[in-house]
Amino acid sequence: MNYAKLQLLINRFKFMWLAVFLLWMKTYLVYKLGFKISSDNLLQEFLLFINPLSSAVLILGCSLFFKDRLKNILVIILSLLATSILYANLVYYRFFSDFLTWPVLFQTSQAKELNGSVFELISFIDILILLDIVILVVYYFKNRIPNLSYIKFEKSFIFGLSVIFFVTNLLIAQIERPQLLTRAFDREMLVKYIGTFNYHIYDAYIQSMANTQRVFASGSDINEIKHYTMSKYVGPEESLLGLAKDKNVILISLESLQSFVINKKVNGEEITPFLNRLIDESYYFDNFYHQTSQGKTSDSEFLINNSLYGKDGGAVFFMNSGNEFNALPEILSNEGYYTSVMHANNKSFWNRDIMYPSLGYNEFFDIASYDVNEDNSIGWGLKDAEFFLQSIDHLKSQPEPYYTKFITITNHFPFELSEEDRFIDELETNSGTLNRYVTTVRYMDYAVETFFNQLKEEGLYKDSIFILYGDHYGISELHNKAMAIFLEKEEITPFDHVQLQRVPLYVHIPGHQNNQVLQTVGGQIDLKPTIMHLLGIKDTKDIQFGTDLFSPERDSFVVLRDGSFITDSHVYTSDKCYRKSSGIEIPTRFCEPYIEKAKLELQYSDKVINGDLLRFDINSKD
């Protein structure tokens, strides 16, 4: 194309180029002010600045496929569409500190449950994101934009220009961050280097590839993975093997509970007085991490029951509910346990009504099993104390021994609470979310204590083993300034952020004397083999990535779904290595022995899930 044609194309479509410029600048501002994406050097900042350009040209260039006045109207419509995608990511990011994936977008059955939470995430100032649309509309009506006839080279030029911009962007990004496109689990890095819109295109490709893995999978695919998981198997602590044999197993999933509130006070009042006392009566794990991603509570359920990692985008509960699993409820059913879940929510939420039978549960006590009204509910539903009270009769109706999981709900964003249930003052920080969080945590602590007392009164306490755990984080990194104030730190570093992913884990066995606080580094993926050994089931050599938390032979190591990992001595996150004892950044070589292992575990687990490989593992059912 010669210079004259280029000048002609620019002059002919000033309106479209104005829209490209405005979308480009808006996206960059959202990166900085909304997502708060930082850069370590000028090259990263340059990539962050230019990466919206290729997609802006491509999206708005689609208007050239239309003629006359419709061409210019399409510029406005496409700008509005791009803005909608950008804003949806912004709202999602405000709570989850993550970007939307295609599987999440198709989880439409969740939408009606999320209304209250979404409104909490919307700010009046958000209307400024429509400023460029207003400018385009005013420009369109104030200026007589001519109806231009079609010129042959226009569409090919625009498409070619967007490709040139993108390839240039990608080449520079690969120089700055080699093997960038192998890190599909690190969505913030992808957005940082290739942009929001390009990331969504890449995510669609990744999801389509994952969906085809099942079609082409074969029995031979599982052998290498089985060899890996067998190599990391560790035997039980012999003194604890079968300690809880034939006892009822009660799991309590503590909604959004993070370890930073344990043994902390607000105005001299303990946030978790009962859970603080329970530490002395339990095995308490001080370095236990949640490993969830976009599946949140459903991810924690999947991790605990299968000792497999959840998906990095979307939720296994939605995308792979038809898979073959060798889950803990099914294993325990075969051992004579009655398995159930009690959760006062709609049975279809997180696709539980489909997924639970796949995991082997005998019964699901959903919202239809409870009396829920305006007086005993708030926020997401039935208050925790009332939930536990009404669950007593359900427990008594079950044959023993049973394996029953309770899922609490009151301590859920946006952390609403009735005045009569507020047993502690709110915090005084710049985050209303964190301020309210401590009050709902305090209420949940009260509800759990009440439940324990009720079980004792009903004679259900002595013959049970209790496992209490936080399911995922409640306070995202968008509240880091407030968190730094609460924790009396100057700032929350990437190291601190990883440490904030710790959640409490209690193994409480009534009458047991040798309780202690254990420092071994572990995660939700380790609970399946731990529970099996406590119940006397020694053969835990199926395909699982966790190890018994009590075993003296275990490797003190945990991988988070974003690729971060923690050992006794180091923390690795965002391509940086930190000394765990001090939080000081050190050369990456100190973390290198575990970097490939962490990556390999996530890849192997993804292969098992995406390929539905357990259908080929005949031994897993033996």
Contact 424, 436 (CB under 8 A): no
d(C-alpha 281, C-alpha 517), whole Å = 10
Output Rg (C-alpha) for the chain, integer angstroms: 26
Phi, psi of 541 (to 5 degrees): -95, 25
C-alpha distances in angstroms, 184 versus 188, 202, 245, 344, 366?
Answer: 10, 9, 42, 35, 35
CA neighbours within 13 Å on the CB side: how many for 615? 14
Contact 45, 173 (CB under 8 A): no
Catalytic status, residue 297: yes
∠ CA 80-7-56, rounded to 5°: 25
Comparing CA positions, the residue from 329, 324, 299, 319 lying closest to residue 501 is: 299
The residues with which 285 forms a beta bridge, in sequence order, are 505, 518
d(C-alpha 132, C-alpha 78), whole Å = 12
d(C-alpha 530, C-alpha 518), whole Å = 14
d(C-alpha 492, C-alpha 498), whole Å = 10
∠ CA 496-499-504, rounded to 5°: 145
d(C-alpha 153, C-alpha 584), whole Å = 56
Place of tokens 């198997």: 233
C-alpha distances in angstroms, 422 versus 253, 437, 445?
Answer: 21, 11, 12
d(C-alpha 446, C-alpha 436), whole Å = 16
Which tokens is 85 given? 């995608």
The single residue of 83, 297, 339, 433 carrying the catalytic annotation is 297
Comparing CA positions, the residue from 599, 512, 554 lying closest to residue 240 is: 512
d(C-alpha 468, C-alpha 506), whole Å = 5
Quickly list H helices, 64-146. 68-96, 102-105, 115-121, 131-142
Four-point Cα dihedral 204, 209, 215, 216, nearest 10: 170
d(C-alpha 332, C-alpha 395), whole Å = 17
Contact 405, 360 (CB under 8 A): no
Query: Among all residues, which ones are annotated catalytic?
Result: 297
